Amino acid sequence: MSHALPKPHGPVVLCVMDGVGVGLGGEDDAVATARTPNLDAMRATCPYTTLAAHGLSVGLPSDDDLGNSEVGHNAMGAGRVFEQGARLVNDALRGPAWSTEVWRSLVAGRTLHLLGLVSDGNVHSHVDHLDRLIAQAARDGVARLRVHTLTDGRDVAGRSALTWIRPLEARLAEHRAAGRDYRVASGGGRMRITMDRYEADWSMVARGWATHVRGEGRSFASATEAIETMYAEDPSVNDQWLAPFVIGSPPCGRIEDGDSVLLFNFRGDRAIEISRAFTEDGLGHARDDLPRPQVTFAGMMQYDGDLGVPKNFLVAPPAIDRTVGQYLVAAGLRTWACSETQKFGHVTYFYNGNRSGLIDPALERYVEIPSDTRPYDERPWMKSAEITDAAVAAIAEGRFDHLRLNYPNGDMVGHTGHLEATRIAVEAVDLQIGRLRAAVRAAGGVLVVTADHGNADEMWIRKGAVVERGPTGSPVPRNAHTTHRVPFLVDDPRGVARLTTGLANPGIASLGATVLTLCGVTPPDDYLPSLVGPA
């Protein structure tokens, strides 16, 4: 059982360096090769260890699964490990999902449309889930099916879309040979269409709506032809940025009255907006004020339980209760949370167990800094300075007991695959941590620095120890997360907090008890042990 430490005079600050893992130190390790004097000084003088942030440690099916920001912040805020979307969907699609009223209503539609990210990244979706859905639809007598494909290039290799699109189109051709009208209908890169989050760029949803629903876009005979053509036209284009396309002329898969639509992504943040476009009126900025077709719509999971988005879903999401935020409120402690738009929901919604809004408006304040809409490798510093400005001002107020903030740079810039830009991103975060640390110390507080998963720590693709190289001999950029451990540093000028000894393979879920312990609140018995204890 973890026990509370004496509460510091100032706030306990949890700083999440999104996507900053502890890599192998090679020349493509943008964390190790960046100039980080502030983090270096903390590692030399503060209690320091590393934490598991992927696979089983955050509730994913296996330790081969990459961690991600959603499950990472869930784990931090829950203080325990809950089975997450990928594992829950795996279990449901082995049988239980097919007997639900939602599935029966979906297969009763005139055309069944399956929309989602097609890869094995297992962060937002998994292609195996799509394969099971198609196979079950055939067993249940669905005569007409359309797949609307979003290409990845972010949680997997940058130009790997055909790894899954070619076999998908071959399987659909087999169904056509058996008399079923099964086809790919549309597609495009996940960062161009459909998968916006936190209303950072609603035009993505509008473009996705035009592509999937209205059938507007450049026409090709197949998705394979579309992707091969775009690769040839622009050798630098990444799958996540592929332009929208439709199949056939006229398009073979417009979404119309009487159809059914299943969004087969299981992760919530980039699924909420397109779900709302299908189910709510008054969203002209997503649909240009055109009427939405009357369809049966469902999500693979419910993406926001508080808002009920969507109303219909195939698999129940994890029921995360008794979060750190709830315990802090119950103790009467005052909390402040901040990030820029791209990660704002992670320090609020996901940290609070997939709960929207404030837990207690009298005790909490959440601050969102609007993100840039330009590519992040062009602005690798992102809004790190503005986040720090807001945090320093909140510390100076002297009214908050706990602050948490997220610097998105290592993750968002890391996903671009640009090594030098990612180094700059890490350096920008380090610069701001120096400012943050000074402010926390001046207020008599305690600073905890950690990360939610790796990304910037490995920027080239490897097979074993061998770096993959492209046609020109240059290393192939890695756009995905890593399975490396993440740092944990605690700066307690009082000298009270010391690393807990004897913890076997600690993970980021232990940050829940750690925050409570530092805030003077005794964690519940079923929380994973605190990473710090008395000296």
Q: Indicate which residue of 2, 69, 160, 275 is catalytic.
A: 69
Token digits for 96? Answer: 């239980």
Q: Which phi and psi (to 5°) does residue 328 adopt?
A: -65, -45
Please name the fold of domain 86-315: 3.40.1450
Distance from CA of residue 243 to its chain's centroid?
Answer: 22
The predicted structure's pLDDT at residue 288: 62
Question: For residues 231 and 159, what is the distance between their CA atoms, to the nearest angstrom?
Answer: 8
- 215 close to 186: Cβ distance less than 8 angstroms: yes
Angle ∠(501,346,77) on CA atoms, nearest 5:
35
Q: Which phi and psi (to 5°) does residue 350 adopt?
A: -70, -40
Pick the range with the lowest mean pLDDT from 99-108, 468-477, 516-525.
468-477
DSSP code, position 249: T
CATH 3.40.1450.10 maps onto the chain at: 86-315
Between β-strands 313-315 and 296-301, what pairing exists: parallel, antiparallel or unpaired? parallel
Does the N-terminal peptide bond of residue 250 adopt cis geometry, omega within 30 degrees of 0?
A: yes
Tell which residue, 236, 472, 268, has the closest CA to residue 377: 236
Q: Which phi and psi (to 5°) does residue 76 adopt?
A: -60, -45
Is residue 418 scored above 80 in pLDDT? yes
CATH 3.40.720.10 maps onto the chain at: 12-83+320-534
The predicted structure's pLDDT at residue 284: 62
Question: For residues 184 and 149, what is the distance between their CA atoms, to the nearest angstrom?
Answer: 7
Q: Can you tell me whether residue 103 is helix, strand or coil?
A: helix
Tell which residue, 226, 122, 220, has the closest CA to residue 165: 226
- 338 close to 366: Cβ distance less than 8 angstroms: yes
Residue 329: count of CB within 10 angstroms of its CB: 18
Pick the range with the lowest mean pLDDT from 283-287, 419-423, 514-518.
283-287
Question: For residues 117 and 122, what is the distance between their CA atoms, to the nearest angstrom?
Answer: 10
- 454 close to 482: Cβ distance less than 8 angstroms: yes
Q: Can you tell me whether residue 486 is helix, strand or coil?
A: strand
The predicted structure's pLDDT at residue 282: 73
Question: For residues 154 and 157, what is the distance between their CA atoms, to the nearest angstrom?
Answer: 7
Bridge partners, 487 (sequence order): 50
Bridge partners, 485 (sequence order): none
DSSP code, position 304: B
The predicted structure's pLDDT at residue 281: 82
Radius of gyration of the chain (CA): 23
Lay out the sheet containing 446-450: strands in order across.
48-51, 486-491, 446-450, 12-17, 402-407, 335-340, 364-369
- Element of type H or E holding 113: strand 112-117
- Encode pLDDT of 252-309 as tens digits: 999 999 999 999 999 988 999 999 999 988 766 666 666 789 999 999 999 987 788 9
Does the N-terminal peptide bond of residue 475 adopt cis geometry, omega within 30 degrees of 0?
A: no
Query: Helix, strand, coil % (nearest 5) of the chain?
Result: 35, 20, 45
Question: For residues 322 and 388, what is the distance between their CA atoms, to the nearest angstrom?
Answer: 29
Single-letter amino acid, residue 396: A
- 131 close to 93: Cβ distance less than 8 angstroms: no
| Per-range mean pLDDT, top range of 82-91, 306-315, 446-455, 471-480 | 446-455
Range 119-126 average pLDDT: 94
Token digits for 309? Answer: 């988005």
Question: For residues 201 and 372, what is the distance between their CA atoms, to the nearest angstrom?
Answer: 10
Residue 69 annotated among the catalytic residues of the structure: yes
DSSP 445-482: -EEEEE-SSBSTT--B-EETTEEPB-TTSPBPBP-S-B
219 Cβ contact list (under 8 Å, min separation 6): 245, 246, 247, 248, 249, 251
Instruction: Please tell me the CATH code under which domain 12-83+320-534 is placed.
Output: 3.40.720.10
Report the half-sphere exposure of 110 (CA within 13 A, side-chain side).
Answer: 10
Token digits for 72? Answer: 């990472």
Tell which residue, 470, 441, 442, has the closest CA to residue 238: 470
Tell which residue, 373, 18, 401, 409, has the closest CA to residue 198: 373
- Encode pLDDT of 65-106 as tens digits: 999 999 999 999 999 999 988 899 999 999 999 999 999 999
Question: For residues 371 and 369, what is the distance between their CA atoms, to the nearest angstrom?
Answer: 6
pLDDT band at 1 (very low <50, low <70, confident <90, very high): low
Of the chain, the percentage scoring pLDDT greater than 90 comes to 86
Range 448-470 average pLDDT: 93
267 Cβ contact list (under 8 Å, min separation 6): 68, 70, 85, 123, 124, 125, 303
